[in-house]
Copies of this chain bind each other. A is one copy, B any other.
């Protein structure tokens, strides 16, 4: 029944940041260079038009263009999962068609957002798409931004539509992931479970996830790959050392910035020029960004992925670098508190 599925989606998929030039247009050259660097750095797949790719801040035409460039540069090296949510079902199906034509392995459709829908309507929305899509699709559950997709709805869609081949969940809730797996996997061994919350990637892999789509892999693709491989090999203790370090980086990229600007700041330290994001910033925010970026540079230097800043970084010792932690984490937490986030 599921024989038409080429192969189960698994591994680390990067939800790509989108570089723009000085006029705010998509920077094709830099995007191509970034795609090839990510693949060379070991990511298993590419995920254009995700939340990290700021799909809602692009026009419909720009979203197509992003996938076109990514697919062209990829040239079949890794599978592409293309974000295809548009204003309504008809437009979404047109995007599905387009991305199928570009060679995407599957599309990812975020649950309806802005309006908060009931489970019955979330079901109706995905069912209508699944019935008509020319390409496999994965559900995308991100309850902090969109209508939640609950477990009975996921099961219902998985049971009824072979075209629905997986879910990406960005809630970071382990028990929720286990409930999904327990409900869906017996019937649908081909169904893939991806987590979008790299703060807990190792535990997620341990409980049975197939991989993840992680904004952090824009900045440290080597590390997310390593975590995946160690976990798959059952080397959880070693994987957890990296997990604790990813958590430190993740928190430093996520909380003090407007998403996804911290991830952009870190990826820039790897040698790419993403330009200014499309969300305007005040001058106070631009100043913040500089000092926060120095914090990120110290963390990445600690991974030996970049040089430390000229002014140096504090010495690190202990579980995840106690002395540095006192500098970094407190700086981050202070900022968080200042912004009312904690």
Contact = CB atoms under 8 A, between A and B. Distances in A.
A84 to B, nearest CB: 15
Interface in A97-147: 112-121, 123-125, 127-128, 144-146
Nearest to A145: B114
Contacts of A200: 174-175, 178, 203
Interface stretch (A57-65, A216-224, A262-270): A57-65
B251 A123 contact: no
- At the interface, is chain A mostly helix, strand, loop or mixed? helix
Contacts of A179: 247, 251
Contact of A90 (B24, B113, B281): B24
- On chain A, which size bracket covers the interface? 35 or more
A207 interface: yes
Contact of A342 (B121, B152, B333): B152
Given A24-B90, A340-B337, A342-B151, A123 B56 contact: no
Contact of A199 (B112, B145, B175, B338): B175
Given A58-B87, A259-B115, A342-B340, A121 B281 contact: yes
Q: In the complex, which of the residues A51, A174, A208, A330 has the most CB atoms of chain B within 10 Å of its own CB atom? A: A174
A172 interface: yes
Interface string A166-184: 0000001111001101110
Given A175-B197, A175-B199, A182-B325, A59 B57 contact: no
A341 interface: yes
A240 interface: yes
A123 B282 contact: yes
A317 to B, nearest CB: 8
Q: In the complex, which of the residues A87, A234, A325 has the most CB atoms of chain B within 10 Å of its own CB atom? A: A87
30 contacts: A56-B113, A57-B88, A58-B87, A58-B88, A59-B91, A115-B259, A120-B282, A121-B279, A121-B281, A124-B279, A124-B281, A124-B282, A150-B342, A172-B175, A174-B203, A175-B197, A175-B247, A179-B247, A181-B319, A182-B244, A182-B247, A182-B248, A186-B318, A186-B319, A186-B325, A202-B206, A206-B240, A207-B243, A339-B340, A340-B341
Given A115-B259, A118-B340, A124-B279, 11 more contacts: A24-B90, A57-B87, A60-B60, A88-B279, A119-B342, A124-B280, A124-B282, A152-B337, A174-B199, A186-B320, A236-B236
